[in-house]
Amino acid sequence: MNFIKKGTLLIGISENFKYNSKIACFSFKGTLIIPKKKTNFIDEYDFKILYNNLIEKLNEIKELGGSIIIFENFYEDINLKSMIEMFINKINKNNKYKIDIIFIASLKSNKYSKPYTNMFKILELLYKNNNSSINRNESIYIGHQGGRLETRYYNKYDRNCSDRSFAYNLGIKYSIPENFFKNSVTKLYWEWNYQIPTIKMRKNKLKEQLKKKELDDKDNNNMELSVSKIIKENLIEGSNYIIIIIGLLSSGKTTLIEEIKKEKKSLIVELNKKLQYGSKEKIIKEIKKLNKKNNIIIELNNISILYYLLENIKLKKIPVLLIETNLKDSFCKLLNNIKIQTTEYIDIELISKTKFNNYKKKYDNIWNKSKRSVSYKKNDKNNRLYYYKKKKIIINDSKYYWYQY
C-alpha cells in the first residue's frame, strides 16, 4: 500500500485498486476493528477484527463489482500506517481474493473530519484523476456512530451520530454494522446530535438569523456609525491610534478587520498574530515601533493579554479604539461549524462544547477586569455604539469602547 501524508490527512492506496463506480465505505475503529482488551488502543498492534464474517463480506463486495473505502477520524498517538498494513495483511491472509482498499484518515479535528464531507471530496479527486466517478445512488456507508439510544433491544448508546451524519451529508445509504454484518432486523431508536447541524438545519438557522438582523437594522438605523466617523470624532488630527478587535471564537473578528482595512486602505497596519503567544514585552516593543509611523489594528485571539496591553498602551498615551464583536454563543458555535467546512485553512479545529464554554468563562473574566480597571470615555448617551455589517452569511453586532489617554 502506498501512503501519502498531506497536512492533517493520511491517504493509503492499494497498488492494484480498481476505481469502480459502486463503493462500500466503512468507518475503521469500532466498525471493522476494536482493541484486544481495553476500550482504547494502546499501540498499532493492539487490535482485533470485530466480525468473524468480515472477509466473507468484503469478498461479496468485490464479486458484485464494488470498491472498498475506509474513512476515519483518527486522533490517537499511534503509528496508523503500520496498523493499516497489518489489518490488510490479516484480511488477505489465506483469502481467495486480494482485497484492495483506499484508506483516508483525518488526523486532527478540522474541516476534513467526519461528518464534514471533505475526505469524500479527496476521494472524488482520486477517482477523477483515474478517469472514473462515484455513483452515490449505488453506494453505501457503514459506521457504528449512528446516534443509537439505549433501549431493551440495545444495551448501550452511541457516543454521537457522526457516521450517520456523514452519510446523510453525502446523500448515500447508511447502515449500522450489525445490520450489514449480522443481517440484524432489531428495531433500534436513534437521534441526531444537534451539536453537528445538518445542511438543512444550517440553512434554516442562517435564514432565521439573517431575518432577525435585518429587522434589528431597521430599528437601529439612526445609530449606524462607520469606523472612520468614530475615529474622526474622537481623535486629535495627526495622532496615530490602535484598534483592538476582541470577541468569542468564530464571532467574525477577521471579517471585520478585512472591512476596516478596506475602509482605511493604506492608513492601517495589522499586527502579526503570532506575536500574541510570545513575550508580552516583545508585543509592546513591536506596537511602539509600528505606531511611530502607522495606525495599528490587532485581532486579539489571545484574550489573556488584553488587560496587560491596555495598561501598557495607557502608559505610552496611545489612543485605543476597542471593538467587541458581539454575537450569541449559539450562533458563534454554528459559525465555527460552517467556517471549518468552508475555509481554505486546514488548521482550524472544531470547537467542542466544553472548550467553548471554558474559553467564554475566561473571556468574560478578563474582559470584565479590563473594563473595571482601565477608564474609558463613553461616546454616546446610551454608553454604547452599534455598528452593523452585512457580508454573505456573517453579520456582526459590534460594541465600541473608546480609550482616550
Name the one residue in this structure whose C-alpha cell is 484486544.
36
How is residue 224 annotated by DSSP?
B
Q: Where a domain ends, among 155, 179, 196?
A: 196
d(CA 326, CA 396): 7
227 & 181 share domain: no
Q: 188-202, 221-235, 312-326 — which is least confidently predicted? A: 221-235
User: How many percent of the chain have pLDDT more than 90?
Assistant: 28
d(CA 225, CA 227): 7
Q: Binning pLDDT at 50, 70 and 90, where does residue 195 land?
A: low
Mean of pLDDT values over 194-201: 56
Name which residue leads in pLDDT, 186 or 18: 18
pLDDT at 266: 57
240 & 370 share domain: yes
pLDDT at 59: 93
Q: Count of domains in the chain?
A: 2
294 & 374 share domain: yes
pLDDT at 234: 58
Per-residue pLDDT tens over the stretch 13-22: 999 999 999 9
Residue 148 in contact with residue 154, Cβ under 8 Å? yes
Gyration radius (Cα) of the chain, Å: 27
Is 205 a domain residue? no
Residue 404 has pLDDT above 50, yes or no: no
Per-residue pLDDT tens over the stretch 307-362: 888 777 766 677 777 778 777 777 777 777 666 666 655 556 667 777 888 888 88
Is 258 a domain residue? yes
DSSP string, 109-169: SSTTSTTSSHHHHHHHHHHHHTT----GGG-EEE-S-S-BPP-SS-SS--S--HHHHHHHH
27 & 138 share domain: yes
Cut 0.75: pTM above it: no
Is 214 a domain residue? no
pLDDT at 50: 92
Cα–Cα nearest to 393, from 204, 236, 258? 204
Is 145 a domain residue? yes
How many CB atoms within 10 Å of residue 58? 21
Q: Helix or strand or coil: residue 31?
A: coil
Is 59 a domain residue? yes
Residue 323 in contact with residue 245, Cβ under 8 Å? yes
Give 320's contacts (C-beta < 8 A, 6+ positions apart): 241, 242, 243, 244, 310, 313, 402, 403, 405
Q: Binning pLDDT at 50, 70 and 90, where does residue 120 land?
A: very high
pLDDT at 27: 95
DSSP string, 242-255: EEEEEESTTSSHHH
Mean of pLDDT values over 38-52: 87
Name the one residue in this structure whose C-alpha cell is 511611530.
292
317 & 363 share domain: yes
Name the one residue in this structure whose C-alpha cell is 440495545.
154
Mean of pLDDT values over 176-193: 77
Is 371 a domain residue? yes
Name which residue leads in pLDDT, 205 or 61: 61
Q: Where a domain ends, among 145, 161, 196?
A: 196
pLDDT at 142: 95
Mean of pLDDT values over 59-85: 92
Q: Binning pLDDT at 50, 70 and 90, where does residue 372 land?
A: low
Q: For residue 333, what is its C-alpha cell?
A: 458555535
Name which residue leads in pLDDT, 387 or 366: 366
d(CA 366, CA 89): 55
Q: For residue 253, what is its C-alpha cell?
A: 473578528
247 & 131 share domain: no
Question: Residue 174 is part of which domain span?
Answer: 2-196
Mean pLDDT: which of 54-63, 103-112, 252-261 is highest?
Answer: 54-63
Mean of pLDDT values over 196-210: 61
310 & 370 share domain: yes
pLDDT at 401: 47
d(CA 354, CA 99): 41
d(CA 253, CA 246): 7
Residue 96 has pLDDT above 60, yes or no: yes
Residue 56 in contact with residue 97, Cβ under 8 Å? no
- Kindly report the average pLDDT of the chain as a whole number: 77
Q: Given CA atoms 144, 56, 106, 201 in this order, what sign does their dihedral have?
A: negative
32 & 143 share domain: yes
58 & 188 share domain: yes
188 & 227 share domain: no
User: How many percent of the chain have pLDDT more than 70?
Assistant: 72
283 & 148 share domain: no
Name which residue leads in pLDDT, 362 or 401: 362
